[in-house]
Amino acid sequence: MERKKIYKETKLVSGSDKAGIKDCAEHLLGGEVVAFPTETVYGLGANAFDAEAVSGIFAAKGRPSDNPLICHVGDRSQIGGIVSEITPLAQKLIDAFMPGPITVIMKKSDKIPPEVTAGLDTVGVRMPSDPVANSFLKACKVPVAAPSANLSGTPSPTNARAVMEDMDGYVYAVIDGGDSVFGLESTVVDATGEKPVILRPGAVTKADIEDCANGDAAYAGTLEAGQTPKAPGMKYRHYAPFANVEIMDMPKDAVLIGDESDGTPVSEAKVPDFEKMTEDDRQALVDIASPFIHREKEILKANPFARIGIFAGLEVKALYEKLGDKILLAHTEFYEYGNALDVRAASHSLFEGLRHLDCQEVDTILAQGLTGGGMATAYMNRLTKAAGKKGELLPGMPKPERPSRGELPLEAFKDTYTAQILFADDDNTCLSQVCDAVMTGLIEKNSPYETLVSRNIGCEIYVESAGITASDGASCDPGIVKAVSEALGRNISHCRATRADPAIYDASDLIITVRDEHAFAICRAFPQIKDKVFSLSSFAASCGLVFKDANGRMVSISIPDPRGENEATYMHTVKALKAWLEVLFPYLIKALGADRA
């Protein structure tokens, strides 16, 4: 299905903006599509009584229209208008779990057009508990047909920004209700028969449903003879990020936290204190983390340039850091969701974590597997699908692309921190100016950034250049000005040389020289800062990046000074520096203590 932008920009409406929500409801009634928050994931809604409006959802999502949508209501009294029969089982489920993270499948009424249910004679009904969803649905007055608000095939969105990434220009508005509480879609239960059949596991667990129904519940696919599995829509590529996903098994004897919703709140995440732990507890942590470390080492052995994302507990990150293998750390991007065995925390962050890691340009994501019978069933259901993405792209579904994150103003962060990278050479009129221009471009293109310490703290990255023997105010070499303008489209004619001094070294978090001898000269003069001074070559080596020529011989990054040479040499110099800095960019950002936000 061809996706066409139909809005110049999609409105972002705050969940507390009553007039904005009313306006969204009016536009929905007028036939437009509006994204809204729920406690599971964000939904992409249209008037369920209006077949044409519903076709707008499929167009925005790029979703094949043979996958049925569920109908959302703000009040139980609306259910009677959607279905033709409420079985005793359905009534029990409605009474016990609505509003909440459940979708109950019932026989549909004639008022719901076949476009909503993909021709099925049943319909899914859901009443979200999220207060913003509830006020929006009440304002709409009609049932709202809505799938999850992601582009077909990609991880579902659990915040407004993730929806904007996929939907800006394709829908009328996105209502921002903050982070979805559960982070995984609702439990879908077929209640047309006597026995509940779970078509999709979610936060309402099998045990919850069995308690309510006073009897067994089955998962679709494990039905008894004579019954037909009813799980349309589960056959497509689902939840998959651009990177490959591999699941790391949890230790067999480990005990999950929060697998059943027994009412006890999940305890706050704690960073482990290795010194104060018992030997057994320490061993338990090592058992959780070691599959990640082993697998990552294997991947890096096969490909020293691989970049690995880790979706795991904060204990796993702490163990990696304790291990202190600099090369391993340089190649690793973490998304820590809370404590490793806390299945609610893992579920809450799964989709956002996959999206975040994708933006760090990782090739492979190693994700924590959690086996259990409650919430863990839902978590593993999504994670297994994300890991098995290959070969499941149907004709018409959008081609997977590495996402770029939607806008995030610095005000979105609680606090901001600054980091500075300095490029140094001898006179600051040629090579260091090129690096400054290239890096400034890369920083702009990939912004914003957050600190590695906390996702709530933004990071502004400054780029400077200076020369060890520069005369302050000297103009750039004209040959390099021309080449930079042609190769990068940047004007550096106004840039002037700065003499490197202790103050600028002190203000910089990372100092990079193009040539080895310049790094060496700085370290000799200021041995106390040697840990933050690198040449391009020694920086690459510190990250374990080994470059080889066609004959398999190791090569170092060597860029001769082009001055006195012809125009082609100047051009070649700029292009070579650009290529190297692009390769090193994610590692440089990490060395500055930052991550793409």
Residues found near ligand TXA in the complex (CB under 6 A): 38, 40-41, 43, 67-70, 103, 105, 117, 120, 122-124, 126, 146-148, 185-186, 188, 199-200, 230, 232-234
Q: Which entry of ligand TXA, Mg ion, none binds 499, CB below 5 to 8 A by partner kind?
A: none
Q: Note whether 393 and 240 are within 8 A (CB).
A: no
Find the shortest distance in angstroms from Cβ 11 to Mg ion.
Answer: 23
Out of ligand TXA, Mg ion, none, what residue 126 binds, judged by CB under 5 to 8 A for its kind, is: ligand TXA
The span from the CA of 448 to the CA of 452, in Å, is: 13
Q: Which of ligand TXA, Mg ion, none is residue 38 near (CB under 5 to 8 Å by kind)? A: ligand TXA
Cβ proximity to Mg ion: between 78 and 148 the closer is 148
DSSP one-letter string for 53-83? HHHHHHHHHT--TTSPPEEE-SSGGGGGGTE
CA–CA separation, 509 and 511 (whole Å):
7
Which partner in Mg ion, ligand TXA, none is near 67 (CB below 5 to 8 A by kind)?
ligand TXA
Q: Which does 590 bind (CB under 5 to 8 A by kind): Mg ion, ligand TXA, none?
A: none
CB 518 within 8 A of CB 467: no
- Of 147 and 448, which has the nearer Cβ to ligand TXA? 147
Q: How far apart (Å, rounded) are the C-alpha atoms in residues 580 and 97? A: 56
Q: How far apart are CA 397 and CA 391, in angstroms?
A: 12
Contacts of 45 (CB under 8 A, 6+ apart): 28, 33, 34, 35, 36, 57, 72, 140, 144, 145, 146
369 touches which of ligand TXA, Mg ion, none (CB within 5 to 8 A by kind)? Answer: none
Question: Would you say 150 or 205 has its CB closer to Mg ion?
Answer: 150
Q: How far is the CB of 231 from ligand TXA (least distance, A)?
A: 6
Nearer to ligand TXA, 200 or 344 (CB): 200
Minimum Å gap between C-beta 156 and ligand TXA is 7
In this structure, are residues 176 and 12 in contact, taking their beta carbons and an 8 Å threshold? yes
Comparing CB distances to Mg ion, the nearer of 148 and 433 is: 148
Give 533's DSSP letter: E
What is the smallest separation between the CB atom of 389 and ligand TXA, expressed in angstroms? 16
* Residue number with CB closer to Mg ion (148 or 537): 148
**Whole-angstrom distance, CA of residue 179 vs CA of residue 458:** 18
**DSSP conformation letters of 477-511:** PHHHHHHHHHHH----TT-B--B--HHHHHH-SEE
- The residue written with tokens 């995440």 in the block is 269
The 8-class DSSP code of residue 248 comes to E
Nearest CB to ligand TXA, comparing residues 118 and 207: 118
- Is 331 exposed, middle or buried, given 0-12, 13-18 or 19+ CB atoms closer than 10 A? buried
Nearer to Mg ion, 200 or 317 (CB): 200
Shortest separation between residue 115's beta carbon and ligand TXA, angstroms: 12
Place of tokens 């970049």: 307
Nearer to ligand TXA, 41 or 461 (CB): 41
- Smallest distance from the beta carbon of 324 to ligand TXA, in angstroms? 42
CA gap 484, 486 in Å, rounded = 5
What stretch of H or E contains 146? strand 144-146
Decide which of Mg ion, ligand TXA, none touches 200; Cβ closer than 5 to 8 Å per partner kind.
ligand TXA
Residue 187 Cβ vs ligand TXA, minimum distance, rounded to whole Å:
8
Q: Give the separation between CA 102 and CA 213, rounded to whole angstroms.
A: 14
Which does residue 188 bind out of ligand TXA, Mg ion, none, counting CB within 5 to 8 angstroms by kind? ligand TXA
Tell me the residue number closest to ligand TXA, measured at CB. Answer: 233
Cβ partners under 8 Å of residue 481, min gap 6: 491, 492, 493
Dist CA 329 CA 587 (whole Å): 10
CB of 176 to Mg ion, least distance (A): 20
Closest CB 597 distance from ligand TXA, rounded Å: 25
Q: Which helix (H) or strand (E) holds 126?
A: strand 122-126
Interface residues toward Mg ion, by CB under 5 A: 148
How open is the CA angle 506-507-513, to the nearest 5 degrees?
Answer: 75
List the structure tokens of 318: 């702490």
Cα(347)–Cα(116) distance, integer angstroms = 28
For 1, other C-beta atoms within 10 Å of its C-beta total 16
> By C-beta, is 234 or 452 nearer to ligand TXA?
234
537 binds, among ligand TXA, Mg ion, none (CB under 5 to 8 A by kind): none
Q: Which is nearer to ligand TXA, 89 or 463 (CB)?
A: 89
199 contacts which partner out of ligand TXA, Mg ion, none, CB within 5 to 8 A by kind? ligand TXA
Q: How far is the CB of 61 from ligand TXA (least distance, A)?
A: 9
Q: Please state the closest distance from residue 338 (CB atom) to ligand TXA, in A.
A: 21
